[in-house]
Amino acid sequence: MAAQGAQSPISFKAMACSAGVLLVTWAAIKLLDNYFELTLLADTTGWLLLFWDWLALETPMPNWSLLMIIAILIGTLSVAIYYTRIKDGTHGELHEIERKIYTKNNPQFPQLTDNQTLLMEALAYHANFRKIANLNSVCKLVSLSTLEVEVGLKQLQAKRLVRQNVTRGTFGATTFELTLAGKDYALERLELT
């Protein structure tokens, strides 16, 4: 007699479920075969039997072992490709982080003060939306006094990041725009789209 509380390894529930699955599968196949012309099932069974016969052939190297070798090679290749892609992704991220640290420690652009950075952002904003940047529009955008903006723009001109355009005549105006170096700086440091 079994000890109390101990269950047998095969329970009645497991046997009933497996028998139910087999019964439903058999009934579905019979119903489909009666109401639909299922030649595919017979063809599949035939193909599987031919494949089984081919696997069981007696040759110097059994066919099933040849298939196992091919499966192992494909599996190994898949794992190698998978880990190579993972390593490339991590390596790419690491390379990007190293590049950012290098450019921060070895700047190719001059260091700017906070006001100069604000002015560069304002001029980049104007360039991005194809607006003309004059002294008044820049002052409104950065909320600095006219004197601070003029001094900052002159310093940026000395660093060759900003160019001043002066037009003469009745409707003469002074406008400011980024030079190529200024555009590079804006793209690199200000991360504009």
pLDDT at 71 exceeding the cut of 70: yes
Give me 87's structure tokens: 């390593």
* Residue pair 188/109 in contact by the 8 Å Cβ criterion: yes
Distance from C-alpha of 48 to C-alpha of 25, rounded to nearest angstrom? 19
pLDDT for 148-184, tens place per residue?
A: 999 999 999 998 889 998 888 777 788 899 888 888 8
User: In whole numbers, what is the pLDDT of the chain averaged over residues?
Assistant: 80
Q: Is the pTM of this model over 0.85?
A: no
- Provide the pLDDT for residue 162: 92
Q: In the chain, what are the domains?
A: 19-55 (no CATH), 114-189 (1.10.10.10)
Q: Give the containing element (helix H, strand E) for 181.
A: helix 180-189
Three-state SS string across 18-54, please?
HHHHHHHHHHHHHHHHHHCCCHHHHHHHHHHHHHHHH
